[in-house]
Structure 1
Amino acid sequence: MEVDQYKVTSTISLNKSVTKVEIEDAEKKLRKVRKKLGKLQDTLYAHGKYAVLVCIQGMDTAGKDSLIREVFKDFNARGVVVHSFKVPTHLELKHDYLWRHYIALPARGKFGVFNRTHYENVLVTRVHPGYVMGENIPGINSIDDINDTFWDKRFEQINNFEKHIAENGTLIFKFFLNLSKEEQKNRLLRRLNKQEKNWKFSTSDLDERKLWDNYQTCYEDAINRTSKPHAPWYAIPADDKSSARYIIAKIMYDTLSTYTDIKEPELDDEVKANIEMYKEELSKE
C-alpha cells in the first residue's frame, strides 16, 4: 500500500470515490504497525521538537471512536491525548470558534487526536447556518449575513491556523472516513437491533441522515479547499472498519518514518563517559 494512495492532491468528487477496501489480514497488520507507531511515539516524546495532530472526521457511524481505540492502543498514555469535540459550551461560545481547538493542541513530543475537529465549523454549521448565530459574531446579524463571503473567510482562517501550527512544529494528518450511505443504514440498524448498542442511537441520527447530500457537498468542498502539502487530507474508505484502521495507522507510520531527524537525544558527554561508574555505584548498594 502506497502512503499517497489515499492522499487528496487534486480535486476530489466524493460520489465517485471508493468507500470500501478489504485488506487481507488487516487486523494482524494493524497489530504490527501500531506497535511500531507506539515505539516511534516514544522517540518523538524524547526528541521533543515535533507534535502530531491527528484530525478525524466522518459522518455518524463512520467508526471514529473505535478507530481511535484500536489504532492508538499501544501508545504510552502520557504520549497521546484525545479530544472529542461536542456542541460548543457557553464558555467556548464566548471565544472565537478556533479557540477551543487552539488550547487542545498537542505539546511537542505528543500526539493529539481530534475526534471531530475545527472542520465542524464549516460542516455542521454550514448545513445548519443558524448555529453560527450562537457565536455572536460582529456583523452577523441574521442568517442572510452567512453567505459565500463568510464561508470563504472561514476557510481562509482555517488554512492560516493550520499553516501557523505546521510552521511551528506540528505535523498534521487529516482523515476523512468515507462511509457509504448504505453502510451507514446498516450500522444504524445494528444499533437498534442490538440491545447493548441501543444507547448509541439518537433520533437526531435519522434527522441528519436526511441531510446526507448536503453533508457530502460540504465535506467535498472543505476537503478540496483545505488539503495542503503541510496539512493534507486523506480520504479513507470506511465501509470496512478493520481495513480503514490499518490504512490510517500505516499512513501515519510511513509518513513519520520519513522524518529522519526524529531521534532520541544524545546523552551528555560527561554522563556517557561515566556510565560504567554509575552502574558500579548502583550495583554496590
Structure 2
Amino acid sequence: MYLITVFGNLLIILAISSDSHLHTPMYFFLSNLSFVDICFTSTTIPKMLWNIQTQSKVITYEGCITQIYFFLLFAALENFLLAVMAYDRFVAICRPLHYTVLMNPRLCGLLVLVSWMMSVLNSLLQSLMVLWLSFCMELEIPHFFCEINQVVWLSCSDTFLNDMVMNLAAGMLGGASLSGILYSYSKIVSSIQGISSARGKYKAFSTCASHLSVVSLFYCTVLGVYLSSAGTHSSQSSATASVMYTVVTPTLNPFIYSLRNKDIKRALKRIIRVPVM
C-alpha cells in the first residue's frame, strides 16, 4: 500500500506537470496535495515497515521528535490544501466569469505559501513544547509512530500548556479549514440547484465530486480516530483507526482523482504511451 501511495501520487504529479492543458489552479493544488500525501505517509510508514522487518520496535528520542514535527507539518498541510481546493471549486462554480481573474497564479502560489508557513509554525511550536517535557524512564508508546498525544500523556511534567496548545491548534486550524470547506460546498450546492438543465447540474457537480470524496474520506477517518479513542480509551483502537488516515486515505486519493477525471486519465495514457482516441 505504501508503494501504491508513492507511485500513484508521483504519477499524478508527473501527469499534471507534463500536460500543458492541466496547468490550471485546480491541478496545481492537486499536484501539491499529491506531494503532501507522499510526504505524509513517508513520515511514519517506512519506520513502521523497518520495525516489522527487524522485529525491533525502537525509535530514538531525536527520531521521535523529528517524526512528531513532520507528521504535524504534513497533516496540517493536507488540512489546509483541502480547504484551498474547496475555495477553488467555489470560485469556479459560483463565480465562473471571474475565475481566471480571481484564481490567478500569484494568488494560487500565495495560498500554498501561507499554508506551508502556518503548518511549519504550528508543527515547530508543538514539537518545541514536547522538548520542554521531562520523561521519568524508558517509554513504550502504544502506537506504530510517535503520536504527540501519546508522547505528552507519558510525560512526568505538567502538560497543561501542551494540552491547551494541541486543543487550540486542532480547533483553530482544523476547525477553520473544515468550516471553510462546509461553507464553500453550501454555496456550491445552492448554485448547482439554481442551474435549470440536468446536464448543467451534472457537469457542475462532477468538477468537485473527486475533491468532495477525498474531503469526506480524510475528515471521517480523522474524526473516527478521535471518537474511537475517546469512546473506548483504548490506545490499540486508536492506533488501528490511525491506519485509515495515515495509510488508506493517501493510497485511495490517486485512484479517486484519476478514475473520476477524464483529463488526468488522458494525461496518464500519454505518459504510458497508450493511444488516446
TM-score (norm 1): 0.28
Greater per-residue helix proportion: 2
Greater per-residue strand proportion: 1
The structure with more radius of gyration: 1
TM-score (norm 2): 0.29
Bigger RCO (CA 8 Å, 6+ sep): 1
